[in-house]
């Protein structure tokens, strides 16, 4: 891609500095420079975006609206510069003027508007859509506070507010012209007038949805993706009557209550809680987005029946599924369309991706809450339910199947059922996951609408996760096969021919070491902890959740600890176990696991002999930025969820793309990564999803493992005694119980197989050239897991989108 010259870079920076601060480069603070660079990018993207939009209109292009409650963006400056082809020249130009571009990157806070995989996937998709020249608008809430900041106090997780807006605001363009109103609560009166449904609202609460647009340029493309972040505002600063009567606080309280809507991201990704505010957030997002889509479409094309020709609406999980009744409402109540015509539009426009099979995470809302909060939407939901039930009746579907699939059943509204009924396509995020959806979770639906169900295996943007975050590796790759892989990830395959070139393999090995040194330095500066970059870095970085089985990892470490305590000279690989990830604030067990890891880390540190071979660190406050530093430094990536539970995983892709080998179970995308990279690419162990189903059926009995496997007995007993003065008997009991508070993710059942896989891995690790050769082979196959491939599949099979 064509880069600009250093001279051009300097002149662009000076232009911004002059415009905003009337200052020259040498006098500018880092913060002013940061703003200047952001300004350069924004101006550039603005021009690009305008041209693209014009072209899109001219060609009658179709656009996808990606609806998601979470976008885990991370930082934006470096990515914008990279994608615009500015990064290198700006870096050099600043350096020539005695400034370090890295310091400017450091100023920006992460935009952490998401919990984990689902939100990060949404951000990767924007990058790919922009790069591949597909028109897209993402819609999300502009949370004042993103995902909490994690801080350890005496080894326990505490949560602090994440105030990201200070530096995040530079990218956001306020769009007063697109603001709209959202109604909640009150009562409705529905009546027919001239054959059309009319609705009167009484006593409802109204709030303004005010959008901010953030632009994301594609790499070497003509396109810029827009993410529209909706913020809640009350219309009046305060109730003037109350204000004039001196009731200041109450007047302010009402304003604050309305604006609470977009105040904070819900920090859980595991457990559905029927919280009224969350339901309001969901409706607020979809109502604002649907209103803006319909308004723009009407202005441009006049005819609403043409909506499906120009618009695809994608539901990233069920959180935005109220798009369905909201779009029906707008079409019928505000545009006098009949139910049949409106439904026909829904049917062609909406698609849905499922991201979890965890029962407790599948969204169901209390019918009364929906009725009270969104009376008109509730009435539409009842009609969708009624029509669906009558269609089932005609098809002769059994009573129990109808109840299972209905939108409203047992006084609950099922969001997944609504999403499936309304979508023309439903996909899972890995082959295994999509099959589980068809064969188990949504079996009845699959019987009824087999053509709806499909798979799109996840991907990550290799530009951020390789080119930007691992410049050393990326430069080596470029020197070997050219830069074509940046735009076309499958080009990475050309690396394979260097697998037998020892000089290349040594370079790969060296780069890994350098990245580990850099990570060690970063960790020391951040947390004051020293780790040895010459040890093997064994990493498990993801949300803390029972199903992901950080506990299984810990059990293995305890086992190694017990062996080394007995015999400090035992033949055990010297390694650093690195954990990173947040626990939902109300998730007791996950927090206990964090505490266990931190206490065990301290105990091992204190043991002079053992600590020569073993070290544990828990990296505080895992975020996109931390991941960008950690992935390039990973030797072993732990992907050890109970088979069938991890829908896909995307951390696995990021790690392997950076030359890690996976230690993994046959779950989610692990299976496909191993298939694509070859059987020696990872160390896979444990029960398959099918084994898991059978073990569950035959009653898992952890006591048997404890009684018959002395290693397991040792480990569990040590857990009971505890570490660094704290007993973890609660966790030991949990691992051994068969009822009540027990481990449904069956850590003990996979323990022995896990140990064996670790031993196999050690064998390869002792032959560094072979290890790094495998790393190179893996990287060469990872093009398939670029979100570019994934977006091409969505565009073709789900959205019917054309490139502009």
What are the catalytic residues?
A: 355, 542-543, 548, 650, 654
Nearest to ligand 26V of 75, 654 (CB atom): 654
Cβ of residue 361: shortest distance to ligand 26V, in angstroms? 4
Question: Cβ distance 179 to 170 under 8 Å?
Answer: no
Kindly tell me which residue out of 39, 61, 112, 116 binds ligand 26V, with binding defined by CB under 6 A: 116
Residues 400-439 close enough to bind ligand 26V by CB under 6 A? 429
Q: How far is the CB of 267 from ligand 26V (least distance, A)?
A: 9
> Measuring CA to CA, which residue among 643, 649, 647, 648 is closest to residue 689?
643
Q: Which of 332, 330, 234 is nearest to 289 (CA)?
A: 330
Q: Output phi, psi for 200, to 5 deg.
A: -105, 140
Q: How far is the CB of 115 from ligand 26V (least distance, A)?
A: 5
67 lies in the site for ligand 26V, by CB under 6 A: no
Phi, psi of 276 (to 5 degrees): -60, -40
Give Dmax over CA atoms of the chain in angstroms: 89
Distance between CA atoms of 127 and 123, rounded to whole angstroms?
7
Location of structure tokens 């302010």: 252
Q: What is the DSSP string of 76-115?
A: -HHHHHHHHT-HHHHHHHHHHTT--HHHHHHHSPPEEESS
Q: Which of 37, 268, 486, 655 binds ligand 26V (CB under 6 A)?
A: 268
Please give the distance of CA 224 from its chain centroid, rounded to a whole number. Answer: 21
Binders in 655-674 for ligand 26V, by CB under 6 A: 668
| Single residue of 165, 304, 306, 361 touching ligand 26V by CB under 6 A | 361
Question: CA dihedral defined by 578, 580, 584, 586, rounded to 10 degrees?
Answer: 40
Residues 6 or more apart whose CB falls under 8 angstroms from that of 274 comprise 364, 365, 366, 369
Among 125, 266, 498, 700, binds ligand 26V (CB under 6 A): 266
Of 527, 735, 758, nearest to 662 by C-alpha is 758
Contact code string over 439-478 relative to ligand 26V, x by CB under 6 A: -------------------x--------------------
CB closest to ligand 26V, residue no = 117
Site for ligand 26V contains 277 (CB under 6 A): no
* Nearest distance from C-beta of residue 671 to ligand 26V, angstroms: 13
Find the binder of ligand 26V among 260, 272, 529, 676 (CB under 6 A): 272
Closer CB to ligand 26V, residue 167 or residue 650?
A: 650
With residues binned 3-state (H G I as helix, E B as strand, rest as coil), the percentages for the chain, rounded to 5, are 55, 15, 25
Q: Are strands 187-193 and 196-202 parallel, antiparallel or unpaired?
A: antiparallel
Among residues 172, 650, 682, 786, the one that binds ligand 26V under rule CB under 6 A: 650
Is residue 647 a contact point for ligand 26V (CB under 6 A)? yes
Contact between 217 and ligand 26V per CB under 6 A: no
Residue whose CB is less far from ligand 26V, 112 or 116 = 116
Q: Which of 44, 109, 162, 269 binds ligand 26V (CB under 6 A)?
A: 269
- Our finding on whether 615 is near ligand 26V (CB under 6 A) is no
User: According to the 3-state scheme, what is the secondary structure of 438-502?
Assistant: HHHHCHHHHHHCHHHEEECCCCECHHHHHHHCCHHHHHHHHHHHCCHHHCCHHHHHHHHHHCCCH
Q: Sign of the CA dihedral 611, 615, 616, 617?
A: positive
> What is the CA angle 770-773-775, rounded to 5?
115
CB proximity list for 334: less than 8 A, separation 6 or greater: none
* Whether 364 contacts 412, CB under 8 Å: yes
Tell me which H or E stretch contains 580: strand 575-580
Please tell me whether residue 115 binds ligand 26V under the rule CB under 6 A.
yes
Please report whether residue 355 would count as binding ligand 26V according to CB under 6 A.
yes
121 interacts with ligand 26V by CB under 6 A: yes
Which CB sits closer to ligand 26V, 204 or 361? 361
Give least dist CB 793 to ligand 26V, A.
Answer: 14
Using the rule CB under 6 A, give the single segment among 174-182, 194-202, 279-287, 645-653 that binds ligand 26V.
Answer: 645-653
Query: DSSP state, 148?
Result: P
Helix (H) or strand (E) holding 554: helix 550-566
Binders of ligand 26V among residues 4 to 43 (CB under 6 A) are none
Angle between helices 747-765 and 729-736 (to 10 degrees): 100
Provide the minimum distance between the beta carbon of 140 and ligand 26V in the complex, in angstroms, as a whole number: 13
Closest distance to ligand 26V from the beta carbon of 460 (Å): 10
Mark residues 284-323: x for contact with ligand 26V by CB under 6 A, - for none: ---------------------------------x------
- From 220-228, 356-364, 493-501, 720-728, span contacting ligand 26V (CB under 6 A): 356-364
Among residues 356, 444, 470, 637, which is the contact residue for ligand 26V, using CB under 6 A?
A: 356
Return the range that interacts with ligand 26V (CB under 6 A); candidates 212-220, 265-273, 414-422, 501-509: 265-273
State the number of binding residues for ligand 26V (CB under 6 A): 22
CB of 94 to ligand 26V, least distance (A): 36
Contact positions toward ligand 26V, by CB under 6 A?
A: 115-118, 121, 266, 268-269, 272, 317, 355-356, 361, 363, 429, 458, 646-650, 668
């Amino acid at each position: 891609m064509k880069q600009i010259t250093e001279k051009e870079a300097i002149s662009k920076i000076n232009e911004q500095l002059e415009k905003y601060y009337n200052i020259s480069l040498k006098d500018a603070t880092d913060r002013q420079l940061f703003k200047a660079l952001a300004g350069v990018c924004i101006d550039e993207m603005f021009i690009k975006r305008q041209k693209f939009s014009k072209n899109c209109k001219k060609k009658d292009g179709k656009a996808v609206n990606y609806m998601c409650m979470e976008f885990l963006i991370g930082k934006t400056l470096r990515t914008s510069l990279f994608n615009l082809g500015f990064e290198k020249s700006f870096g050099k130009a600043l350096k020539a003027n005695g400034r370090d571009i890295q310091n400017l990157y450091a100023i920006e806070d992460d935009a952490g508007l998401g919990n984990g995989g689902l939100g990060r996937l949404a951000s990767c998709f924007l990058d790919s859509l922009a790069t591949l020249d597909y028109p897209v608008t993402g819609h999300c809430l502009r949370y004042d506070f993103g995902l909490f900041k994690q801080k350890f106090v005496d080894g326990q997780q505490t949560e602090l507010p994440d105030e990201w807006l200070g530096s995040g605001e530079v990218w956001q363009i306020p769009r007063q012209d697109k603001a709209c109103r959202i109604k909640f609560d009150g009562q409705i009166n529905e009546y027919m007038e001239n054959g059309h449904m009319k609705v009167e609202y009484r006593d409802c609460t109204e709030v303004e949805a005010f959008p901010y647009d953030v632009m994301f340029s594609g790499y070497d493309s003509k396109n810029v993706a827009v993410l529209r972040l909706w913020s809640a505002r009350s219309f009046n600063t305060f109730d003037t009557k109350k204000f004039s009567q001196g009731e200041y606080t109450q007047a302010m309280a009402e304003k604050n209550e309305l604006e609470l809507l977009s105040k904070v991201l819900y920090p859980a990704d595991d457990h559905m809680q029927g919280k009224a505010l969350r339901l309001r957030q969901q409706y607020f997002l979809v109502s604002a987005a649907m209103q803006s889509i319909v308004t723009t479409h009407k202005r441009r094309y006049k005819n609403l029946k043409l909506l499906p020709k120009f618009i695809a609406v994608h539901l990233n999980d069920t959180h935005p599924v109220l798009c369905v009744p909201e779009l029906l409402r707008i079409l019928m109540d505000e545009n006098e369309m009949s139910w049949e015509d409106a439904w026909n539009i829904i049917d062609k426009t909406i698609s849905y991706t499922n991201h979890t099979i965890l029962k407790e995470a599948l969204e169901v809302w209390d019918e009364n809450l929906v009725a009270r909060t969104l009376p008109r939407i509730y009435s539409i939901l009842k009609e969708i339910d009624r029509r669906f039930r009558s269609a089932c009746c005609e098809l002769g579907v059994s009573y129990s199947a109808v109840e299972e699939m209905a939108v409203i059943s047992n006084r609950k509204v099922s969001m997944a059922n609504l999403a499936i009924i309304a979508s023309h396509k439903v996909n899972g995020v890995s082959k295994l996951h999509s099959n589980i959806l068809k064969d188990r979770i949504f079996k009845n639906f699959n019987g009824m609408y087999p053509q709806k169900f499909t798979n799109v295996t996840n991907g990550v943007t290799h530009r951020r996760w390789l080119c930007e975050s691992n410049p050393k590796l990326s430069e080596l790759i470029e020197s070997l096969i050219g830069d074509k892989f940046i735009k076309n990830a499958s080009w990475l395959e050309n690396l394979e021919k260097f697998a037998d070139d020892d000089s290349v393999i040594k370079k790969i090995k060296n780069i890994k070491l350098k990245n580990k040194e850099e990570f060690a330095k970063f960790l020391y500066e951040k947390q004051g902890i020293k780790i040895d970059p010459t040890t093997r870095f064994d990493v498990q970085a993801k949300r803390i959740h029972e199903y992901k089985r950080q506990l299984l990892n810990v059990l293995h470490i305890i086992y190694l600890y017990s062996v080394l305590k007995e015999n400090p000279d035992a033949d055990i690989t010297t390694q650093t176990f690195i954990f990173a990830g947040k626990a939902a604030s109300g998730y007791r067990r996950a927090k206990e696991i964090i505490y266990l890891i931190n206490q065990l880390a301290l105990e091992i540190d204190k043991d002079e002999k053992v600590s020569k071979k073993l070290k544990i660190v828990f990296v505080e406050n895992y975020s996109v930025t931390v991941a960008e530093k950690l992935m390039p430094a990973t030797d072993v990536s732990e992907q050890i969820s109970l088979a069938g539970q991890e829908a896909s995983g995307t951390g696995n892709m990021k790690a392997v793309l950076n030359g890690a080998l996976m230690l993994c179970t046959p779950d989610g995308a692990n299976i496909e990564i191993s298939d694509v990279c070859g059987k020696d690419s990872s160390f896979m162990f444990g029960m398959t999803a099918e084994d898991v189903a059978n073990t569950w059926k035959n009653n898992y009995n952890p006591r048997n493992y404890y009684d018959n496997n002395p290693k397991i007995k040792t480990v569990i007993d040590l857990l009971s005694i505890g570490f660094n003065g704290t007993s973890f008997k609660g966790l030991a009991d949990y691992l051994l119980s068969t009822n009540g508070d027990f481990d449904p993710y069956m850590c003990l059942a996979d323990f022995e197989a896990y140990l064996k896989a670790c031993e196999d891995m050690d064998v390869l690790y002792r032959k560094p050239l072979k290890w790094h050769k495998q790393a190179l082979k893996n990287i060469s196959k990872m093009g398939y897991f670029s979100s570019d491939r994934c977006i091409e599949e969505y565009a073709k099979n789900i959205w019917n989108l054309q490139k502009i």
